[in-house]
Chains A and B, each alone.
Chain A
Amino acid sequence: MIDPTTDIADAPPRILIVDDERRNVELLKVMLTPEGYLLSTASNGQEALGLLADQQPDLILLDVMMPGMDGYAVAGKIKENAATRNIPVIMLTALDDRNAKMLGLNAGAEDFLTKPVDRAELCVRVRNLLRLKTYGNKLRAAHAALAVALAEAGEARRMAEHANNAKTQFLRSMSHELRTPLNAISGYTEILEMGIRGVVNPAQLKDLGRIKRASAYLLRLINDVLTIARLEGARPLHLISIAVNPVLAEVEGLCVLQAKANGLTLTVAPCEHEIFATADAERFQQILLNLVTNAIKFTPKGGTINLICDDATGVVRIRVNDTGVGVRLLDIERVFEPFVQVDRHLTTETQQGVGLGLSISRELARAMSGDLTLESAEGVGSTFTLTLPIASDISAAPSTEATALQSEHSGRQTAAIAS
């Protein structure tokens, strides 16, 4: 036997017995009491409806033949009212005919019992309907909770959108407000530098150079912040088949002087045979420039930086290896987070950056279906590995549109990324 209280609320279920014959009521009470239900009774339809307004039972046993309001009318009233509609009703009838059952079903009763009532059948039917009611209650509660959750989610989304718009607006006006004085700073510096206001002595020229570098740095910072805030929107990536070796040579050419000036050796080990990668040409070069200028920044005098190319299954691998200060194991993933500059013993102000270069580079690499990873040992050096998919058909040079953040205004990419 199934315990009638399983799946039912903690309190014992309440059952209302509606019958005009006292003998029948007593009989039902005797049958149901051992099941542990709380029983109440009504001797006619009016009384039953009055009781329902007061306290709702979990189930109603309703006699059909009653003086005044009959059982069908009472069931109709119960099912009409939204407050009582969900209480299951079992009709009790002495008439074992089809007509009585149809009338009861049409009135909304859930089930029937024919008099004389069989105890076992009564108990099973009551228990089943109570269980169904419990499921119904749970379903309705879940439905209500879902509606509340949906409304809350909608509200949260509206608030998030609002906050995001406010952020965009804030950064937009910050950008404008910062550029305005910057225009005057760099403009007048240029005028002084050109000697238009009078002869500039070498010491002054040096100072003007410092002002210029500082304002260029500030501009880069503004642009980087906007980039990471995605305000510059998505510029479509132009994915084509690119020969890797010429890109490496180009990067070498752009960085060799800077490396030499820092007392470093820059070597390039090109791919053994010509490999083509599927990438956006500008972004590809931008990532490599960023990695090499970073390596220059963090490698002490006398060190070496190697640019090494090889291929693995389906990917071309370009490693930028340095003998620099390295990164602690703990910080290896952190260097790719925006605005993070792990302590790499920066010694001069020129080494400072806003900490966006690597974050942007990794995003770009991933947007091109590649990746950017780091292996490093503190005090030994770092190896950044850029992987890009190998172009399968070099002659077709497929051009696919994808999106990535745009890092800078056209023509200033390398300056922005070098920070």
Chain B
Amino acid sequence: MAKVLIIEDNAANMTLATFLLQSAGHSVLSATSAETGLTLARSGQPDLVLMDIQLPGMDGLEATALLKSDEATRDIPVVALTALAMKGDEERIRAAGCDGYIAKPLAYRDFLATIASHLIKVTL
């Protein structure tokens, strides 16, 4: 299965996403800030990045832009997992370079289906 990097500052939500991904057979790398996440993305080369948007310090939009401008990480799909779920948020997040968007609160099946669809795109 795939290797997923989760960048998320909320501990409970990090544990939840980790658990859901592991239960689907994926392995998980985790970072609680965008800065750490960028380093891990370069060194760990995950198959997908799950990105919280509101983060302490650098936010997820900026981090995504950096991932997408770096030769070493630009092909890794970035899926936003965020509580920013108001009108316009999704458009803004996609415009920043995110390939996918999942609004919190997440629903188990939708969540795994979205992850799977982005992993398939990479393998194809």
Query: Contact mask B100-111 → A, CB, 8 Å, 1/0?
Result: 000111111000
Q: Interface size bucket, A side?
A: 20 to 34
* Cβ-based interface call for B87 (8 A): yes
Which B residues are in CB contact (< 8 Å) with A178?
Answer: 83
Q: Are A180 and B83 in contact (CB under 8 A)?
A: yes
In the complex, the chain B residue whose C-beta lies closest to that of A197 is B19
Known: A179-B104, A179-B105, A196-B23. A184 touches B85 (CB 8 A): no
Say which residue of B54, B87, B108 sits within 8 Å of A406 (CB atoms).
B87
In the complex, the chain B residue whose C-beta lies closest to that of A181 is B12
Say which residue of B16, B83, B87 sits within 8 Å of A187 (CB atoms).
B16
Query: Contact mask B14-50 → A, CB, 8 Å, 1/0?
Result: 0010011001000000000000000000000000000
Q: Are B86 and A187 in contact (CB under 8 A)?
A: no
In the complex, the chain A residue whose C-beta lies closest to that of B102 is A183
Quote the shortest CB–CB distance from B83 to chain A (angstroms).
4
Quote the shortest CB–CB distance from A344 to chain B (angstroms).
30
In the complex, the chain B residue whose C-beta lies closest to that of A229 is B86
* Cβ-based interface call for A190 (8 A): yes
In the complex, the chain A residue whose C-beta lies closest to that of B103 is A409
Which B residues are in CB contact (< 8 Å) with A184?
Answer: 10, 12-13, 16
Which B residues are in CB contact (< 8 Å) with A176?
Answer: 54, 83-84
Which A residues are in CB contact (< 8 Å) with B83?
Answer: 175-180, 183
Q: Interface size bucket, B side?
A: 20 to 34
Q: Are A175 and B86 in contact (CB under 8 A)?
A: yes
A226 to B87, CA, bound (A): 10
Q: Are B86 and A219 in contact (CB under 8 A)?
A: no
* Cβ-based interface call for B57 (8 A): no
User: Within residues 166 to 193 of chain A, which ones have a CB less than 8 A from any CB in chain B?
Assistant: 172, 175-188, 190-191
Q: Are B16 and A183 in contact (CB under 8 A)?
A: yes
Which B residues are in CB contact (< 8 Å) with A177?
Answer: 83
Which A residues are in CB contact (< 8 Å) with B104?
Answer: 179-180, 182-183
* Cβ-based interface call for A377 (8 A): no
Q: Are B86 and A172 in contact (CB under 8 A)?
A: yes
Quote the shortest CB–CB distance from B57 to chain A (angstroms).
17
Quote the shortest CB–CB distance from A44 to chain B (angstroms).
77
In the complex, the chain B residue whose C-beta lies closest to that of A219 is B105
Say which residue of B20, B54, B103, B105 sits within 8 Å of A186 (CB atoms).
B105
In the complex, the chain B residue whose C-beta lies closest to that of A223 is B85
* Cβ-based interface call for A232 (8 A): yes
Query: Which one of A175, A179, A182, A235 has the greatest number of beta carbons of chain B within 10 Å?
Result: A179
Query: Contact mask A183-209 → B, CB, 8 Å, 1/0?
Result: 111111011001010000000000000
Q: Are A232 and B87 in contact (CB under 8 A)?
A: yes
* Cβ-based interface call for A293 (8 A): no
In the assembled complex, 13 residue pairs joining A and B whose CB atoms fall closer than 8 Å, in A order, are A176-B83, A176-B84, A179-B83, A179-B85, A180-B83, A180-B104, A183-B16, A184-B10, A187-B108, A190-B108, A232-B87, A235-B87, A409-B103
Given contacts A183-B83, A183-B104, 13 further A-B contacts (CB under 8 A): A176-B83, A176-B84, A177-B83, A179-B85, A182-B105, A183-B13, A186-B105, A187-B108, A194-B108, A226-B86, A233-B88, A406-B87, A409-B103
Contact surface of B with A, Cβ cutoff 8 Å:
10, 12-13, 16, 19-20, 23, 54, 83-88, 103-108
Shortest Cβ-Cβ A-B pairs, 10 listed? A179-B83, A183-B104, A232-B87, A184-B12, A183-B105, A233-B87, A187-B16, A186-B105, A176-B83, A182-B105
Contact surface of A with B, Cβ cutoff 8 Å:
172, 175-188, 190-191, 194, 196, 215, 219, 226, 231-233, 235, 406, 409
